[in-house]
Amino acid sequence: MSQETDAVLQLLGDNEEQILSQWLQEAGGNAARLTEAGRRALRGDAEEILRNLREALRAGGDPENFEAPAWSALRGALESLSRSRAAQGQSAGDTSVFVLAFKRPLFGLIQDRMKAQPERQMAAVWTLSVLVDRMAQWTVSTYQQTREDLIKRQQQDLLELSTPVIKLFEGVLAVPMIGTLDSSRTQVVMETLLQRIVETGSRLAIIDITGVPTVDTLVAQHLLKTVSAIRLMGAECIISGIRPQIAQTIVHLGIDLQGIATKSSLADALQLAMEQQGFVITRRQA
């Protein structure tokens, strides 16, 4: 343990209550608007960070190497702080400011206790500054990772919700496609549809592309892959929603849809599916 680290550790141990009080005062610009429970939670966060910081310094943690095992408990406390604040709607900057406010009381103590040793004073200030900066950066990194994970989960949920598999009739499934059809979406559609074919024993699947704005070569390839997978499961496929513009685009691109039943609307596709299943629909006379 270096002299500077030892000096910081001694200050933390001898002046814990003073440091906590000044830290919360410095960081708690909105403390007046906090409830009593909120103030207790804020103090609890500060106490946990301070306790883990002392333990890491006692274990010989080097502030320049914040990812070392000695700092694992402190990193965990900072990650918990960042995630909880992110869940409450606070920004990464809010959490970072809270951690950086820790510098103020310690700088004051160093200035007061080491004024007769200017060289040691500057070294301790540098060590402390590096350490708190690393702590603040860690909370920002954790916040960003938390947000990215949340966005990925939301994207996956939206992807699954945007590709529902609907049972229209006995043995007939339908997948209404809305929006751009890309590789990830095709994979979700294929997996969900094939699973539903197995579960329901359906023999026909209707892929409705009425809500797909454009059809290019890539979209057509995704459709053909899905049709091929459906046929491998022993079922047949009908593509509905072929508008005039899409029909012209398919022809111009030279995309071969021969052997695949296509209809201009979902209603027509359902009628064809019923006919292929051997059902006859008649209007009941009044």
Q: What average pLDDT does range 181-208 have in this prediction?
A: 85
pLDDT of 249 reads: 84
Distance CA 132, CA 110 (A): 15
Band of pLDDT at residue 159, cut at 50, 70 and 90: low
Of residues 261 and 8, the one with the higher pLDDT is 261
Tell me if 181 sits within 8 A of 221, measured CB to CB.
no
User: Would you say residue 168 has pLDDT above 50?
Assistant: yes
Which residue shows structure tokens 């003073």?
18
The first and second tokens of residue 282, run together, are 């008649």
259-276 residue pLDDT tens = 888 898 989 998 888 888
How would you write 259-284 as a 3-class SS string?
CCEEECCHHHHHHHHHHHCCCCCCCC
> What pLDDT, on the 0 to 100 scale, is given for residue 238?
92
Rounded CA separation 181/219 (Å): 6
| Torsion 229-191-168-219 (CA) sign | negative
Task: Assess whether pLDDT exceeds 70 at residue 187.
Answer: yes
Residue 189 contacts residue 166 (beta carbons within 8 Å): no
- Using one digit for the tens of pLDDT, what is the confidence trace for 67-91? 888 888 988 888 888 888 777 777 7
Model confidence at 31: pLDDT above 60:
no
pLDDT digits (tens, 9 = 90+) for 204-259: 999 998 888 877 788 788 888 888 889 998 899 999 988 888 888 888 888 877 78
What pLDDT, on the 0 to 100 scale, is given for residue 182?
Answer: 72
Q: Which residue has the tokens 């209603």?
A: 267
- Give me the sign of the Cα torsion angle 157, 223, 236, 178: positive
DSSP secondary structure of 124-182: HHHHHHHHHHHHHHHHHHHHHHHHHHHHHHHHHHHHHHTS--EEEETTEEEEEEES---
Domains of the chain by start residue, with CATH: 3-153 (1.10.490), 166-276 (3.30.750.24)
Amino acid at 183: S
Structure confidence at residue 240 (pLDDT) = 92
Q: Is the pLDDT of residue 172 over 50?
A: yes
- Examine the pLDDT at 32 and tell me if it is beyond 50: no
Roughly what angle, to the nearest 10 degrees, separates helices 16-27 and 36-58? 130
Percent of the chain surpassing pLDDT 90 = 5
